[in-house]
Structures are given as structure tokens and as C-alpha cells.
Amino acid sequence: MGLFSFLSQEIAIDLGTANTIIIQNDKVIVDEPSIIAVDSHSGKLVAIGNEARQMQGKTHQNITVIRPMKDGVIADFNGAELMIRGMIKMLDKKNRMFAPSLKVVVCIPSGCTEVELRAVNDSAENAGAREVYMLHEPMAAAIGIGLDVSAPEGNMIVDVGGGTTEIAVIALGGIVRDKSIRTAGDNFTADIQEYMRYQHNIKIGERTAEDIKINVGAAIPDLDEPPADFIVRGPHQMSALPIEIPVSYQEIAYCLDKSITKIEVAILAALEQTPPELYADIYRKGIYLAGGGALLRGLAQRLEAKHKIKFHVAEDPLHAVARGTGIALKNIDKYHFLIRK
């Protein structure tokens, strides 16, 4: 550590569509939903993260709930800036007082355009970062899982996030083939909302759909350890009278089928374009699943049956990208593929 190291602070940010995770000194310091509540008139921050999520669908006209991230990229520039600034403030305030210089590594989807890169960079700088580095999500996930990304061997990562599913073949410290599709956790949530509306004539909000996904979400209709049915309460679409409906995991497996098929097709497309030598490595080692979507019951079994290749779910898949970003931050000189705008 240098003489003036106490004057600088290094943080890694996994700026996700669903959750934002901040890592400092190898520890997850902030893990909050990527959502903020602002005053509708002044635009000032009212709540952030979990506190703002609890307000979702329950606000009055003076409060607006915003999700600044959409499909893995910044959709609301001001909202993103407020969110990053607010989450950085959640870090140890004593440290912040002595840390005028802030070095940040931010995760980005592999299909990011120059404009989207600039938006992430500017948001981080406006939130107080002195140096901003960026790292592609699949690369961060691979590092977080513990794979040797610089080895002359092929590794395939499927990172099912909130807004995007990132599929990448990595070798020699670079992304050889990548495919980014905007079908992921948010689509699963929307599918559940639509299914409940058409099948059960019940209106549910985004939060309830998210709870259904967590409690009874499944990719296959035949699980070894099935979860108990989840009770959903809400208004009937026609009569507006309250109804209570038990939802089974088989129903959710059926309603998520189309979205999961899109992910299967994207994985197949990435495999088709993979050079034969790397394909052989992937077949031997298997494909790694990361991101919150990897927690969907039976997803690995379904993909395995479809592609005839072993799928491994990363340990703690939700934090794999953030962990990898933290490791890259500590070894900025080693990881030459970090992007600096």
C-alpha cells in the first residue's frame, strides 16, 4: 500500500437491471434492488434499494418509483446517477471522509454500444468516481466462478441476469464468441404477470410476480424436490372482487417455456460459432451458469437435456459477477481487458 493509499478508495460495482452489488475489500457491502423513489416535483431522492422496492406499486402522486436500468443498460441517466451516488454513500461513511479519490470498476453487458458505455462512465464520474474501468459481465462471471480466463482453454459462461442473458466463450483473456439477448429475469416476471391475467383472471403487480418466481419458479414440470404451491391474492379482472389462487411450479414451468426456449436457441447459436478446438474444451468441462436466473429450479437439467453438454450452476450465482469484478479491481494491471474510457 502506498503512503497516500488512505486517500483513495476502490470499489467494484455490478450495476444490474434487478440488483446492484458493491464490493469493497472482497466483501459485499451493498446488495440492493436497482430501484429508487424520487420526489415527483423536486426530483430529490426519497428512497433507494429495498426501501424503494417496498414502495413499488403503492405510491401517491408526489413520489415516483424508477428503475434506472433496463435490459442491462442505463435507461434513465439522472436516475442511474442518483442511484450510484446513493449506494456509494451507503459505504462506511468514516472511510468516505478520508477518500477523495474513488477508483471504480463497473460491470457492463457484452453487447454494449459506445453510447451505453459512455452513459455508464459519465454516471459513475458524476457520482464521484475519479477513475472508472469497465468489465464485460461474462468475463466478470468467469473470474468470479474461479475459472482461469487467461489459459489457452475454452470456457463457456451463460449469465442469466435481470435484463439480459449473456452467453460467452472465453479463452486467452478475451471473449472469442459472445451472444447477448434481452430475454432474462424481467421477461420471466412479465410472463408470470401475463399468465396470471389470462389463466386465472387475476391482476398482479411486478413485486408479486417476482415473489411467485422466487417461490415456485421452475424450468421443468417434473422436479425431484417440488416447492409447495404459492398462494396469490388479488382482484378478479372482471368483478374486482378479491380472489385467492394457489400457483404450482408446473404452471410456472409452462408459462416460462417460450422465454427459456429463446435462451436455448441463443446458446445453440453461440456453440455453432465456436471454433472446434474450443468446442472440445467446453464439451469436456461443461458450461457454467451464473446470474440470478441460474437459481430457477431445473434450468440446468433442461439445458443439459437440450444441448447434451453438462451444465454447472455456479456457487452463489447471484454474486458471481460482482465477485469477479472485485477480483479484477484488485488486479487491474493483470487484467488488461478492462475498458478505460
| Distances 12 to 71, 130, 146 between C-alpha atoms, Å | 20, 13, 17
Rounded Cα–Cα distance for residues 91 and 95 (Å): 8
In the prediction, which pLDDT does 100 show? 56
What pLDDT sits at residue 119? 84
Q: Is 337 left (phi over 0), alpha (psi -120 to 50) or beta?
A: alpha
- What pLDDT score does 141 carry? 93
Residue 339, all three cell numbers: 475498458
pLDDT tens, position by position, for the chain (341 residues)?
444 444 568 888 888 888 889 888 888 888 999 999 999 888 888 999 899 988 888 888 889 999 888 877 788 888 888 888 888 888 755 454 445 578 888 888 877 788 888 888 888 888 788 888 888 889 999 999 999 998 899 999 999 998 889 999 999 988 899 898 989 999 999 999 999 999 999 999 888 999 999 999 999 999 999 999 999 999 999 898 999 999 999 999 999 999 999 999 999 999 999 999 999 999 999 999 999 999 999 999 999 999 999 999 998 898 899 899 989 888 888 877 677 65
- Predicted local distance difference test score (pLDDT) of residue 188: 96
Q: What is the pLDDT of residue 156?
A: 96
Backbone phi, then psi, for 119, in 5-degree steps? -65, -40
What pLDDT score was predicted for residue 93? 54
Half-sphere exposure of 312 (CA within 13 A, CB side): 18
| Pairing of the two strands 19-24 and 131-136 | unpaired
pLDDT computed for residue 97 by the predictor: 45
Residue burial 1-30, b: 16+ Cβ < 10 Å; e: rest:
eeeeeeebbbbbbbbbbbbbbbbbeeebbb
Q: What is the pLDDT of residue 60?
A: 86
Sign of CA dihedral 282, 225, 190, 209: negative
> Top-level CATH class of 148-183+261-317?
alpha beta
Q: Where are the domains of the chain?
A: 148-183+261-317, 185-255
CATH class of 185-255: alpha beta
pLDDT of residue 92: 58
pLDDT at 8: 64
